[in-house]
Amino acid sequence: MKRSLLFIFIFVIGSCLMAQSLDQTIQNLTGDAAKSYVDPMVSVFGANMNGAWFHQAPKAKLLDWDLEISLVVMASAFNNNEETFNVDGRFMFTREQARSLTTDYETQLPPAQYDALLDAITSQYFTVNIYGPTITGKQYDSNDLDNTAIHIGFPQTEVHYSVGSSDQVAQVNAMPIVLPVGGLLYDYPALPFVAPQITIGTLAGTKLSLRYLPDTQLSEEIGTLQYFGIGIQHNPAFWIPIPIPVDFSLSFFTQSLHVGDYATASATSYGLNVSKTFGPRLMSITPYAGISYETSNMEFKYTYLVDNSITSAPITSNIKFDVDGGNEARTTIGLSFRAALLNFNIDYNMAKYSSLTTGIGINFSW
C-alpha cells in the first residue's frame, strides 16, 4: 500500500494519494451530500488535467523532427468560498442514525414494532437539509462539531410502517444528525497533478501528444489506477502560402483516469495556441499563449451499507453520481526555455479555477 501511494504521489495527483481516506469518508455519505462534499475537488482536478499540454505551436512545415519526453506538473488553487456547503437533498439513514431519530419510541413500542419502524426509516431516502464542510473545509474535530462536521437536518416527518398486517404511522420529530465527516484537503491551498508526457511531430504542421501510465494496483480496497490522454495540434498556416510571423495551432486534448471501480475522471479541451521562438533551436526562448474551452467530469461509484433489522440481511445501496468541473474557458500565458536537449516551461492559466503549470523534458529536435 505505501509503495502504491508513493507511486501515485510521484506520477499522478495529490487527490489519488488520499484515495483510501476519501473512499472511507465518502462511504458515510449518500446522494446530494456526497456530491456537494467532493464538488470543489472535482473542479480543480479537471483544471489540472486540462493544463500543461503545450508550450510551443508546431511549425508550418511538411516535416520537422521534434520529439520531447517530459514530466508536466500542474497545481490549481481551491476557492476559499467553497469550504462549506448547504443544500437540500436526499439522504438515506443508517440504523444507528434511525435510532437517534426515534429515541422516544424505543421505550414506547414493543421491540418488534420498534424494529419495523427502524426498517422503514433505513429503507428509503428522505429529503433533508445538508450542511457542513466540503472536502476542502475544516478537518473534523469532535470538540467543534458546529464548524467541522456535516449535519443532516431531519425534518418532522410521518413515517409509515407495517407490523404484520397492521399499518402504523409514527410522527418523528425534527432532529439534526451529525456525521463525523470533515475536510480532507483543508491544509492544501492547491491540488497538484503530475503526469509523464510525450510529444512528437511535426508532420504537415501537426504534433501529437500522449500521456500514459501503466495499470498500477493501488490496494485491494481501491483497485487499479489507469490513465491515458491524447492530444493533437495543427498549424493551419501549413496550408497558407503567405508567411506568418508566428506559429499558431488549433488544438484538441482529451484524457481519462480510472481509480478502480470507485472513480472515473475525464477531461477535454480545445482551443487556439500561438508561440514565437527567439534564438537558435538549441539555445532559445519561446513565449506562448492560448485560449481554450474545456470540460471535465468525475464519476463516483460505491456501496452504501445500511443495517436493516437485527435478524435480517443488511440493505446495500449502490451509489453512483457524477460532478462536472467548474472551468469552461481559460487563457494561458507562458514562457519556454531550451538549452541543448533540456527544455523547461512555465505558464499561468487564468480561469474560474486558475492554475500554474510547468514542465521539464528532454527535447530531440533539430
H or E element in which residue 216 lies: strand 206-219
Q: Are residues 34 and 58 both part of a single domain?
A: yes
Same domain for 259 and 110: no
User: Is residue 331 within 8 Å of residue 320, measured between CB atoms?
Assistant: no
Higher pLDDT, 365 or 178: 178
Rounded Cα distance between 339 and 341, Å, is 6
Provide mean pLDDT across the span 327-333. Answer: 97
For residues 160 and 168, is the Cβ–Cβ distance under 8 A?
yes
Domain limit, last residue, from 179, 198, 228: 179
- Identify whether residues 208 and 237 lie together within a single domain: yes
Query: Over the stretch 139-190, which tens digit does the pLDDT of each residue have?
Result: 999 999 999 999 999 999 999 999 888 899 999 999 999 988 888 888 888 8
Same-domain status, 157 and 118: yes
For residue 272, what pLDDT is reported? Answer: 97
Task: For residues 276 and 43, give the distance between their C-alpha atoms in angstroms, rounded to a whole number.
Answer: 31
The grid cell for 329 is 474557458
Predicted pLDDT of residue 8: 43
The total domain count for the chain is 2
Sign, Cα dihedral of 335, 339, 343, 344: negative
Does 62 share its domain with 98? no
114: in domain: yes
* Domain housing 116: 82-179
Task: Report pLDDT digits (tens) over 76-122.
Answer: 999 888 999 999 988 888 888 999 999 989 989 999 999 999 989 98
- Distance in angstroms (rounded) separating the CA atoms of residues 52 and 71: 10
pLDDT digits (tens, 9 = 90+) for 52-79: 999 999 999 999 888 999 999 999 999 8
Q: How far is CA 206 from CA 61, 110, 138, 241, 341, in A?
A: 9, 76, 47, 17, 21
Whole-angstrom Cα distance, residue 149 to residue 138? Answer: 8
Whether residues 16 and 33 share a domain: the answer is yes
Centre a 10 Å sphere on the Cβ of residue 43 and count the other Cβ atoms it contains: 25
Q: What is the pLDDT of residues 176-232, one digit of tens each?
A: 999 888 888 888 888 888 889 999 989 999 999 999 988 877 666 667 888 999 999
Give a yes or no: residue 309 inside a domain.
Answer: no
Among 129, 147, 179, the domain-final residue is 179
The CATH code of the domain that includes 222 is 2.40.128
Please say which residue of 179, 206, 229 terminates a domain: 179
pTM of the model: 0.83
pLDDT bracket for residue 13 (50, 70, 90): very low
Arithmetic mean of pLDDT over the chain: 86
pLDDT of residue 366: 66
